[in-house]
Structure 1
Amino acid sequence: MSRSARGGSSAIPDVYLVGAGQSDYGAFPDESYRSLFRTAYEAAVESAGGVDPGDVDEAVLGTLGVGGRQLGLPGPAVTEHVGLHGVTCTRVENACAASGYALRQAVMAVKSGMADLVLAGGVEVMTDMSTEATKYWLGVSGETEWERLAGTTFSGVYAQMADAYLREYDVPREAMSHVAVKSHANGAKNPHAHLRFTCTVDDAESGTVVADPLTLYHCCPTSDGAAAVFVASEEVAQSYDDKVKITGVGAASDRVGLFQRDSYTSVPASKAAGDEAYEMAGISPGDLDFAEVHDCFSIAELLAYEDLGFCERGEAGDLALSGTTAIDGELPVNTSGGLKSKGHPIGATGAGQAVEAFKQLTGGAGERQLDDPQRGLTHNVGGSGGAAVVHVFEREDAEPAGSTDGAEGGE
């Protein structure tokens, strides 16, 4: 089936988020993957106004299993722990995009008619290991033989992407620093964020070099955390007060190794996933009111601007420097603080992005609440671009999408 043939059809039922919650992200030596997931699950139940465990048909959990804990059957391990006894649970692993794909699987289960209410979520514990062990577990999401075993770190891979991008388009490194400053400003307003402090452009520019041209301020932290959302059919969703329609879903895979790709300045899987999600939702990038994008490193946010059509190729630096993506700009990006400030517990990240989308569209984002947003997008990437998944969310009373003046990303 062609990608376009997967687009929205009147015969395919609508799907909704009816509850969403997460734990704090950070370093929690007294917590386990089970206790963190319980916190996220209970927050999702509370946001939904209550969920009867007997009504949950299925569950999908995203996790990489950092540190080797419960590599087999982590899904049943956490769902049984929260009281979902006997609920079928599947574990999804797609590196950093694990729970983004878990959400996609939940949407597919409901749209197919096989389930009416599905729990999708993710969890990761990353801070209870040595630095060397953490680097190993991060590295397994890269190409094994020619990247990880050759000594390349994740920051090294993204540094290659950053160097290529800054050189090809003559973009100052300061553009990445502006992204970091924006992320920290937003994260400082998020009570769940790992790094709740602000920084300046000078701080980011003068920070310790991790992998040239990336400084410490251009890199996300390793975090512990969990997130969970409830995906419901249209009929079931009517019994919940707050609901957000999932209008578009797109996913794509690509070569796992950066060295295998034609370009270091784009993530083709992101573009393909975004195009599919836009088509299914019947919108263009200019119809969005906000976006949560995968900014494991600040260069990744710049590439996402272009891959997702927020601007033309080579213009992401200007977009960042202009303030357009600030919380008070025309297209706020990463109001949660993003991976950079909110944190990046690998398996929880994609579901955590959906939590932010749900909060923004139901008016529950607190100090970082946007003014009357109607549509938002989440973008979750695995590895350095071996997989990507994009979701489009829409408020139930959203005005019809109109023609857009926004630029679409080019090849």
Structure 2
Amino acid sequence: MSKAYVVGAGQSDFGSFPEESYRSLFTTAYENALDSVPSGVSPGDIDEAYVGTLGVGGRQLGLSGPAVTEHVGLDGVPCTRVENACAAGGYAVRQAVMAVRSGMADVVLAGGFEVMTDVSGESVRYWLGVSGETEWERLSGTTFAGVYAQMARAHMETYDTTAEQLSRVAVKNHENGAKNPHAHLQFSCSLEDAQSAPTVAEPLTLYHCCPTTDGAACVLIVSEDVVEQYTDDRIRVAGVGAASDAVGLFQRETYTGIPASRQAATRAYETAGIGPEDVDFAEVHDCFAIAELLAYEDLGFCDRGHAGSFVESGATALDGELPINTSGGLKSKGHPIGATGTGQVVEVFKQLSGRAGDRQLETPRYGLTHNVGGSGGAAVVHVFERERERDSRTTEVDQ
């Protein structure tokens, strides 16, 4: 079985772009990914493509993958659309890794896109809601903010997690996002801002919720047989894990964790041959502040029930022992559903190749991405390893 490597990754800006289309956003991400490869990649090198998208607004539901790959000139390249709610992008990356590891392809494009800001708020809620349990959640009026609010309340009552600790997640991620030129919300917020913001679903305030976002991101994954043609800076996909679970929150065994995340993480660590203590930084799925706290525990970064004190300690800050969401996360960078998982890999690629600009960490070796669909019906975790020391560090190429 071949090893898989990330040799390039790029994204569009994330935000609200009424002048852009899903094709133009994908083109930007694709071109930035090609430009990030040290030795260059020709479109003719690409054997296969996987594209994640939910299709918010109903755009191109039938053939959304070929619609974007044909637009960028990948004529004849087989393209498969991947839809797994908010985990679509992460699963597209997983499919690309599987294609390389199986020997079916040497160079694979994993992409994702979403345009969410050109429809009404009611329509956005509908399209987000289709990823929830239909009869007993969506049709009864429960939104995802309401579902995650239930998880937040359960965690607070079980483990004495506080609203201030939820707000500290927002403050940290906005601080990181303010350093990211591609982020949707490029501004800092204070603890008071986060705590005093309007309530969306008790106990979650506006600052505890990610924005609806337009954007695209692409990742280039190659086999060990060809990696040296493209780079000397080897970033290996060391571990992959995925899991599914009941779509409805009420159908699961717990409200204070996401079992699919735990199972996916266990599998990713096993295939990588490492444990959570070896991870240097991570991009986790923080669609709501409570989701990041749950991820700390589900991924093994802290003991069950200790997530609130973990973020409060500063451990997950940019200068902490385990920086989380250096990109700003979904909270600040944004959450264009199909592009979220691929966008997480873009940040890991930048950090491991020394291209993260003002957010750059010092010589990380292992980075992790964690992408969740819905409220936990699907989850996928990837572990990436920088195999070879860089000859020189790039100072400012955040593109």
Q: Normalising to structure 2: TM-score of the pair?
A: 0.96
Check the 8 A contact 1:382/1:388 in 2, yes or no: yes
Q: Counterpart in 2 of 1:98?
A: 88
Number of matched residues?
Answer: 387
CA distance in 1 between partners of 2:331 and 2:161 (Å): 20
CA distance in 2 between partners of 1:243 and 1:128 (Å): 39
Tell me which of 337, 342, 356 is aligned to 1:346.
337
Q: Counterpart in 1 of 2:14?
A: 25
Shift of 1:262: 1.4
Secondary structure, counterpart of 1:291 in structure 2: strand
The equivalences for 1:95-134 within 5 A come to 95-134=85-124
Shift of 1:62: 0.2
CA distance in 2 between partners of 1:247 and 1:280 (Å): 7
Q: Counterpart in 1 of 2:393?
A: none
Shift of 1:107: 0.3
CA distance in 2 between partners of 1:240 and 1:116 (Å): 12
Tell me which of 232, 242, 266 is aligned to 2:257.
266
1:139-160 Cα offsets, whole Å, 9 max, x none, are 1110011100110011000000
Shift of 1:124: 0.2
1:199-253 Cα offsets, whole Å, 9 max, x none, are 0111101000000000000000000000000000012111122431000000000
Shift of 1:78: 0.3
Q: Counterpart in 1 of 2:157?
A: 167
The equivalences for 1:390-401 within 5 A come to 390-397=381-388
The equivalences for 1:50-69 within 5 A come to 50-69=40-59
Tell me which of 275, 278, 282 is aligned to 1:287.
278
1:346-393 Cα offsets, whole Å, 9 max, x none, are 000000000000000000000000011111100000000000000000
1:94-118 Cα offsets, whole Å, 9 max, x none, are 0000010000000000000000000
1:50-85 Cα offsets, whole Å, 9 max, x none, are 211111000000000000010001111000000101
Tell me which of 228, 232, 239 is aligned to 2:222.
232
Check the 8 A contact 1:15/1:245 in 2, yes or no: yes
Is 1:37 equivalent to 2:26 in the alignment?
yes
Whichever residue aligns with residue 6 of structure 2, its letter is L
Whichever residue aligns with residue 284 of structure 1, its letter is G
Q: Counterpart in 2 of 1:7?
A: none
Secondary structure, counterpart of 1:220 in structure 2: coil
Shift of 1:137: 0.6
Shift of 1:293: 0.2
CA distance in 1 between partners of 2:202 and 2:127 (Å): 22
Whichever residue aligns with residue 95 of structure 2, its letter is Q
Whichever residue aligns with residue 305 of structure 2, its letter is G
CA distance in 2 between partners of 1:362 and 1:333 (Å): 17
1:8-64 Cα offsets, whole Å, 9 max, x none, are xxxx22110000000000000010000000000000000014211111000000000
The runs of 4+ residues in structure 1 deviating greater than 4 Å are none
**Structure 2, gaps ≥5 residues long:** 390-399
Secondary structure, counterpart of 1:122 in structure 2: strand
Q: Counterpart in 1 of 2:136?
A: 146
Q: Normalising to structure 1: TM-score of the pair?
A: 0.93
Shift of 1:322: 0.1
Whichever residue aligns with residue 51 of structure 1, its letter is V
Q: Counterpart in 1 of 2:348?
A: 357
Shift of 1:341: 0.1
**Structure 1, gaps ≥5 residues long:** 1-11, 399-411
CA distance in 1 between partners of 2:269 and 2:362 (Å): 23
Q: Identify which range, 241-250 or 103-112, moves more after superposition.
A: 241-250
CA distance in 2 between partners of 1:377 and 1:70 (Å): 31
Q: Counterpart in 2 of 1:370?
A: 361
Check the 8 A contact 1:125/1:345 in 2, yes or no: yes
